[in-house]
Amino acid sequence: MNKRKPGSGNYSRTETPAKPFRGGGGRGPRHGPQKGHKGGADENFLYGFHAVTAALQNPERKVLRLLMTRNAENEMADEGLSLGTQLAITPETMTGEEIAAHLPPGAVHQGIALKVSALPDLSVDEACEGVNVAVVLDQVTDPHNFGAILRSAAVFGAGALIATDRNSPPLGGALAKAASGALEQVRVAKVTNLVRALDELKDLGFEVIGLDGEGEVSLPDFKTGPKVAIVMGAEGTGLRRLTREHCDILARLPAFGPMKSLNVSNAAAVALYELSRRR
């Protein structure tokens, strides 16, 4: 595998039409949902129908509390989920306002919230076992972008996501809601040293491709190996210098319209679709 010269420059912002998109995670603790949200809300709760039902079906999760409105109970029954015979706890029936009091302000809970244990800590090699496509996030901080990327990973067959431990969101309610169940389906490893994680991926046989608006090749034109890790940079700043330098190559997404950049989650979806299309 030939080492290519890394590109440079800032992450392409949607308001800066000069350059195409440049987007952008060793081993460390994997953080589950966290407590301490302002107003007394408990961020150990997942919420929303898809996030909750996926967590209920994940054997890695320990269910601590299940809060539901009557309408949500009926919807679960319509979906064929008989919770009374599947859970070791009894669901608590509440109003929507009562459920909202346990959640961050503005959380769209759809009448259902689930308090669960955190997912187990995973190393890079554990997350990538049996995986041919992985996503690496270099300090992507927005939980909605992170969750949307997880969802695209699940749709397009990327089985692992590696993210920095610092400067990335907790794997809690807002992220799980945006992921729409994908948090339970894509293995996530939170790492303390991203450069070391990239080296581990290479040792596992992955070709590490950084997505960068100044990449020397267009991703659709680049022939990849059988195992690929696509690296996306932070919103606004893109890939950090050391991250770029430890990628095998920097690739760009083709841009033909008046705007030359994409939101990081949209760019991840396009890149993952391109990789899945080849398979």
Which domains does the chain show, CATH number per domain? 45-116 (3.30.1330), 124-278 (3.40.1280.10)
Q: What is the pLDDT of residue 137?
A: 98
**Per-residue pLDDT reduced to its tens digit, 146-198:** 999 999 999 999 999 999 999 999 999 999 999 999 999 999 999 999 999 99
Query: Above 90 in pLDDT, residue 138?
Result: yes
101 versus 255: the higher-pLDDT residue is 101
Q: For the residues 86-97, what does the mean pLDDT come to?
A: 86
Radius of gyration of the chain (CA): 20
CB 149 within 8 A of CB 211: no
**Per-residue pLDDT reduced to its tens digit, 24-82:** 333 333 344 444 333 445 558 999 999 999 999 899 999 999 999 999 988 877 766 65
pTM attached to this predicted model:
0.82
CB 66 within 8 A of CB 94: no
Q: What is the pLDDT of residue 41?
A: 55
Q: Name the residue among 63, 56, 98, 103 with its Cα closest to residue 80.
A: 56
Give whole-number Cα distances, 136 to 18, 26, 133, in Å. Answer: 25, 11, 10
